[in-house]
Amino acid sequence: MWWRSASFIMDRQRNEEADLKGDSSNPNPNPNISAYYETRAAHHGVVTSDWLAQAQAAIGPDPVPDPNPEPEPQLRPDPDKPFSVIDEFNSWRKQPHLAEAVAAIRALAAVIRSSKATTMMQLEIELKKASDFLKSWDTTSISLTAGCDLFMRYVTRTSALEYEDFNSAKSRLIERAEKFGEISYKARKVIAMLSQDFIFDGCTILVHGFSRVVFEVLKLAAQNNKLFRVFCTEGRPDRTGLRLSNELAKLDVSVKLLIDSAVAYTMDEVDMVFVGADGVVESGGIINMMGTYQIALVAHSMNKPVYVAAESYKFARLYPLDQKDLAPALRPIDFGVPIPSKVEVERSARDYTPPQYLTLLFTDLGVLTPSVVSDELIQLYL
- Contacts of residue 48, defined as CB under 8 A and 6 or more positions apart, other chains included, come to 41, 332, 334
Q: How many CB atoms lie within 10 A of CB 44?
A: 14
CA 324/CA 149 separation, integer angstroms? 24
Q: Does position 7 bind another protein by CB under 8 A?
A: yes
Q: Does position 284 bind another protein by CB under 8 A?
A: yes
∠182-187-191 over CA atoms, to 5°? 160
DSSP 33-97: S-HHHHHHHHHTT---HHHHHHHHHHHTT-SS--S--TTHHHHTT-TT-S--HHHHHHHHHTSTT
Please, what is the minimum distance in Å from the beta carbon of residue 65 to another protein?
41
Q: Does position 317 bind another protein by CB under 8 A?
A: yes
- Residue 205: enclosing H or E segment and its boundaries? strand 203-208
Choosing from 27, 147, 276, 355, the residue that interacts with another protein (CB under 8 A) is: 355
Taking the least distance from each CB to another protein, the nearer of 246 and 369 is 369
Please, what is the minimum distance in Å from the beta carbon of residue 361 to another protein?
14
- Among the residue ranges 48-56, 135-143, 230-238, 276-284, the one whose residues contact another protein (CB under 8 A): 276-284
Q: Does position 371 bind another protein by CB under 8 A?
A: yes
Q: Does position 13 bind another protein by CB under 8 A?
A: no
Q: Does position 279 bind another protein by CB under 8 A?
A: no
Please, what is the minimum distance in Å from the beta carbon of residue 326 to another protein?
12
CA 181, distance to chain mean position in Å, is: 16
Q: Judge contact between 258 and 232, C-beta under 8 A.
A: yes
Q: Does position 327 bind another protein by CB under 8 A?
A: no
Nearest residue to 44 (alpha-carbon basis) of 213, 233, 246: 246
- Among the residue ranges 7-15, 25-33, 164-172, 291-299, the one whose residues contact another protein (CB under 8 A): 7-15
Choosing from 2, 24, 25, 121, the residue that interacts with another protein (CB under 8 A) is: 2
Taking the least distance from each CB to another protein, the nearer of 272 and 368 is 368
Q: Does position 252 bind another protein by CB under 8 A?
A: no
Q: Does position 5 bind another protein by CB under 8 A?
A: yes
- Contacts of residue 280, defined as CB under 8 A and 6 or more positions apart, other chains included, come to 286, 287, 308, 310, 314, 315, 316, 361, 363, 373
- Among the residue ranges 93-101, 268-276, 277-285, 332-340, the one whose residues contact another protein (CB under 8 A): 277-285
- Contacts of residue 286, defined as CB under 8 A and 6 or more positions apart, other chains included, come to 275, 277, 278, 279, 280, 292, 308, 310, 352, 353, 358, 361
Choosing from 70, 282, 311, 364, the residue that interacts with another protein (CB under 8 A) is: 282
Taking the least distance from each CB to another protein, the nearer of 34 and 283 is 283
Residues in the chain: 382
Choosing from 321, 327, 339, 366, the residue that interacts with another protein (CB under 8 A) is: 321
Report which residue type is found at 98: L
Kindly determine how many residues on this chain lie close enough to bind another protein according to the rule CB under 8 A: 25
Nearest residue to 275 (alpha-carbon basis) of 200, 178, 170, 370: 370
Contacts with another protein, residue ranges (CB under 8 A): 1-3, 5, 7-8, 11, 282-284, 317, 319, 321-322, 324-325, 355, 371, 374-375, 377-379, 381-382
